[in-house]
Amino acid sequence: MLGLNTPVGNAAAGDFGLGALPGRESEFQQALDQAVSYGHAIDATAVHCMSGLVTADTASAAERTFVANLKLAADKAAQAGMTVLIEPINHRDKPGYFLHTIEQAASIIDQVGRRNVKIMFDCYHTQIMQGDLTRRLKDYLDLIGHVQIAAVPIRAEPDEGEIDYRDICRTLDRLGYEGWIGAEYKPRGRTVDGLGWLSTFTQDQTSSNARGAVA
């Protein structure tokens, strides 16, 4: 088990994270404490702090709230030997999600000023929002704590669509990335039936330094 998300809040009311929601700081801290406690118990090394949904007129306040919450989150996670991850999520799948670009995530991390806050670089979300994956992987490598893959545009197994993930893996090798690659996708059928893509990657990445994890 590599990591886990903070609870989203009240899903029935439309919550999708609490980290950047002004006025709900205490709820976020409760969610964080739960996630760190669970993560520590199962030896997970990371907790993903979900920012939540905001409106354009609250974006500035949301940023200030997220930065303040992440400072506390990073300090609590550090005590448990864990990294805090933040993940830009695309606005097609989740309209209004506060954190939605890699550059925004890098700016947030700079403001937080904690070494254990990193980007969860989800290639699926980033391709939809911004593209130019190879350059962004290179430019922000030092800030990346985890990489995730899925086919674009259908978010199925990473063996179809507009991204050649074998090339992405070769790029990560060249850059010296030594972290995990999580396969976060929605199987086309049964999960086991769709794992054939792994053998293709194994044949192509015999000298790979990057480690793979199916999620």
At 107, list the tokens: 């700016």
Residue 178 a catalytic site member:
no
Q: Tell me phi and psi for residue 122, to 5 degrees.
A: -90, 110
Give the burial class of 86: count Cβ atoms within 10 A of its Cβ; 0-12 exposed, 13-18 middle, 19 or more buried.
Answer: buried
Catalytic residue among 87, 103, 157, 178: 87
Amino acid in position 131: G
Catalytic residue among 25, 63, 157, 184: 184
Amino acid in position 76: K
At 90, list the tokens: 């695309």
User: By the 8 A CB rule, do 83 and 39 touch?
Assistant: no
Residue 25 a catalytic site member:
no
The set of catalytic residues is 87, 184
